Chain A
Amino acid sequence: MSYVSCLRCKECGAEYPIEPRTVCDHDFGPVEVAYDYEAMRGKVTRQSIEAGPRSIWRYRDLLPVASEPRVGLNSGYTPLIKADNLAAELGVRELYIKDDSTNYPTFSYKDRVVAVALMKAIEFGFDTVGCASTGNLAHSVAAHAAKAGLTAFVMIPHDLEEGKIIGSQVFSPRMVKIRGNYDDVNRLCSQIADKYGWAIVNVNLRPYYTEGAKTHGFEIAEQLGWKLPQHTVVPVAGGTILPKIWKAYQEFITLGIVEDNKPKMYAAQAAGCNPVVTAIEENSDLFRPQKPQTIAKSIAIGNPADGYYVIKVVRESGGYGASATDSEIIDAIKLLARTEGIFTEPAGGTTLAAAIKLIQQGRIPRDESICVCITGNGLKTIEVMHGQFAAAPVINAKLSEFDVIVDEIKEKAAAATATAGV
């Protein structure tokens, strides 16, 4: 049974049938899937969700699919980690990491949105799917399309990390690299969607694609024991996931599945690409586009389509924003790895670095529950960590040579204790 009623413009409320559609005809506002929450009451419950599969499809009643899921059967349901080591380091009481670096099949939050978008592509009868991507989306479209038997066409900026390029190419999509930044790629892609009539997941499947991002928020609430964290810190690129985590929280509140504890949302951006955080700091409704200059390439979107809604949700919820420099991003990647054993990419480093700043500024209180959304995997972007670590010693396969190393480690530790004791 589907509870979907229609597509509705977020600006003027105009309604459209469930069809491939990019924006509202009247005002270009984004259209969003609307549901019949009344009909869900008493039917979509904690129990009904708990009875579902361990994937994004356990939230199927709150997703816009009409048929039995055939894409992304293993996507989502990533761990929510109680990050006690990191919490101790940061001096906060209750800290969680929602870890989409382990998402299936391509290790980023995009596996959620693409699963829903490709389900709709199949339902609408498309055989070719495409995307404009900063890397992760292409990776996920290529993999999900391979499994679903669809042809994939992925458009990326020419200068992405190798892991993101090979990581997509291995699935044999048609890949086109575009000279320019993501915003140039996106502009071209919108013209391609116009001309060729393909299913471009972030263009004419956008309303369905974006709904998939809600599952990140649903999972946080469920895995926290049907509770919302008081503070959620989220990376912002095009601005899809932050408002959708918020929508997920609000839907659970509407359905009586969780209590409304007035959750606050916080936006994280790289200092080299922070149009949304700048607007939040300047208390402005509109952002000024930027030309990105940051190691956090996956979130380097200078002209975010949904930036306006990120600003709105952050403000309405009582949250705020923070940006992180390249070196703060690297430090945060290392900190998360050292304390929690999680290797994230620069997008995750940005989010943790921003969370740390917000805690230090007192914007996020140390004694309330905090969730940091880690949305990507560090193994895709190893080049950013080059030169960060001392070279490992190389020895022959002789125990005596290994003994030397152990002795050196002991000596260093002793010297360190001695210095500390002075």
Chain B
Amino acid sequence: MEVTISIPTALRPQVDNKDTVKVTGSSVREALGALTAQYPELGKRLYAGENELNRFINVYVNDEDIRFMDNLDTALKEGDEVSIIPAIAGG
């Protein structure tokens, strides 16, 4: 399953300044795993622990927060868009 991961500005230095990266994976965990295998520096910022994303990062699959789905186990299909977005304030 090839999916596109969009990278926020703050993380682009860790991925050769690309704004999107294509990887393969059948779940968010696998896709992010593929991404961080390619860019280990990114992995340090993305994860707080083995199975836990950094709490200031939100991950969306086609505009839906993965915490409303199966979190890291959310399934992916060909062409899905995964976005990594830092949490932001407001109101």
Using a CB–CB cutoff of 8 Å, the interface residues on chain A facing chain B are: 11, 22-23, 25-30, 110, 131-134, 136-137, 182-184, 186-187, 189-191, 194, 202-203, 206, 209-210, 237-240, 286, 288-289, 291, 298-299, 301, 303, 305-306, 308
Contacts and interface: CB of A to CB of B under 8 A. Distances in A.
A288 B89 contact: no
7 smallest beta-carbon distances between A and B, as pairs: A202-B90, A28-B56, A305-B87, A237-B91, A305-B89, A238-B91, A194-B9
Interface string B67-87: 110000000000000010111
A194 B45 CA distance: 18
A133 B91 CA distance: 5
State the main secondary structure of chain B at its contact with A: mixed
23 contacts: A22-B88, A25-B10, A27-B56, A28-B45, A28-B86, A30-B56, A30-B89, A131-B90, A132-B90, A133-B90, A134-B91, A186-B88, A189-B88, A190-B86, A190-B88, A191-B8, A191-B83, A194-B9, A202-B90, A239-B89, A288-B67, A289-B67, A305-B88
B40 to A, nearest CB: 15
Interface residues on B, range: 20 to 34
A226 B9 CA distance: 44
A206 B88 contact: yes
B58 interface: yes
A303 B45 contact: no
A301 B91 contact: yes
B19 to A, nearest CB: 8
A159 B89 CA distance: 20
Interface string B46-67: 0000000011111010010101
